[in-house]
Amino acid sequence: MRENPTVARSDYLFTSESVSEGHPDKVCDRISDAVVDAYLAAQPDARVAVETLVTTNRIVLAGEVRGPDTITPDHLEEIARHAVKEIGYEQAGFHWKNAKVEVYVHAQSADIARGVDAAGNKDEGAGDQGIMFGYACKETPALMPAPIYYAHHILKALAEARHSGAQPGLEPDSKSQVTLRYVGGKPVAATSVVVSTQHDADLSTDQVREIVRPYVLEVLPEGWMCPEEEFYVNPTGKFVIGGPDGDTGLTGRKIIVDTYGGAAPHGGGAFSGKDPTKVDRSAAYACRYLAKNVVAADLADRCTIQVSYAIGVSKPLSVYVDCHGTARVDEAKLEKILPELVNLSPRGIREHLKLNRPIYARTAAYGHFGRQPEPDGGFSWEKTDLVDELKRALA
């Protein structure tokens, strides 16, 4: 036992993992978010909650929607096949063209609609109860925890090489895991790196290892590479059968990969397959947006924000800010000011971040956070456009 348990540890190892777009669960997230995009493109106020299951040459969609009748089961099947094709699955056990697609999508419950829709003087309520978190820190330029940041970027670099044809022996399914050493509370080096990547049957383990190595070296800061004996590539020795043919996938099973790699809390809900009226998604984005702006404004080195909601109620029940002992302002004051800068009702979040747009399929792999804001509004929650307002409010 430490003599003073109130003092945070400063020297330790911390590990995060990532999974690629071809991981079975991520295939499902991609399909479900492609469905969300299709509905929002056709009708910005559409309601969508669609889950996907994949296994050997089978794709199953289920859920509830409220949107245009022009999006038929045949259209949803086409969306699913196109998503799988874009990921790159053309294998005997899972092929975008040959997989059987089943669609069990029905109209949204009238009871849920009654509780969350705006009516008369009642603003639109939250679609469910729940807690959501956001986090930011100064460990990386993206204000993300370093282990998940580098784990994502290793897989993204490998995926880009696969899609471009630079590495034709790689297949879509892959995972990474990065362990970093922290000294004085700051990451200084990797102590181990694990990469498992699906590959052609004619590649040996040693060949795959040397294919992967330069991408890891490219992503990690100079001098951070782990010792050779702690560099694990396909530790089982062979990874030919993968994707949904090797393991069943489901929407929403990689929520820690989607957020902060375990370096910060996660609420109860997943993101993918949900339109932005669902606070599981939109409020988590809002919390990241606020936390990132607090850190970008140099008001703290680390910031965690929690909000909570009740179904059918528009205002959040609570707003909590924890800067982990790094705050340069009163956290209670931040709890008061942040909701004044951003309306944290479901409608307020959507309007501020302009979330009623088809911008979600791109979020399904390599993390919802730590990405660059895009011209069409994608990753709007990564903007740091509140910095000046925050500074003025606290002056």
Annotated binding residues for L-methionine: 64, 108, 247, 278
Torsion sign across C-alpha atoms 349, 352, 358, 361: negative
Which is it for the CA torsion 212, 213, 214, 217, positive or negative?
Answer: positive
Give me the residue label for tokens 């990564």: 382
- 3-state SS assignment for residue 179: strand
Nearest to 33 by CA among 86, 69, 70: 86
Q: DSSP characters for 10-67?
A: -SEEEEEEEE-TTSHHHHHHHHHHHHHHHHHHH-TT-EEEEEEEEETTEEEEEEEEES
Residue among 157, 155, 147, 142 at smallest CA distance from 224: 147
Of 94, 154, 75, 132, nearest in space to 365 by CA: 154
Annotated binding site for Mg(2+): 25
The distance in angstroms from the start CA to the end CA of the chain is 42
Specify whether the CB–CB gap between 293 and 384 falls below 8 A.
yes
Closest CA to 127 of 313, 319, 315: 313
User: Residues annotated as binding site for K(+)?
Assistant: 51
Residue numbering of the annotated binding site: 23, 25, 51, 64, 108, 173-175, 238-239, 247, 253-254, 270, 274, 278
- Contacts (Cβ under 8 Å, ≥6 apart) of 134: 284, 285, 286, 287, 288, 289, 290, 291, 292, 304, 305
Q: How many CA atoms are closer than 13 Å to the CA of 163, on its beta-carbon side? A: 13
Residues at the annotated binding site for ATP?
23, 173-175, 238-239, 247, 253-254, 270, 274
Q: How far is CA 135 from the centre of its chain?
A: 13
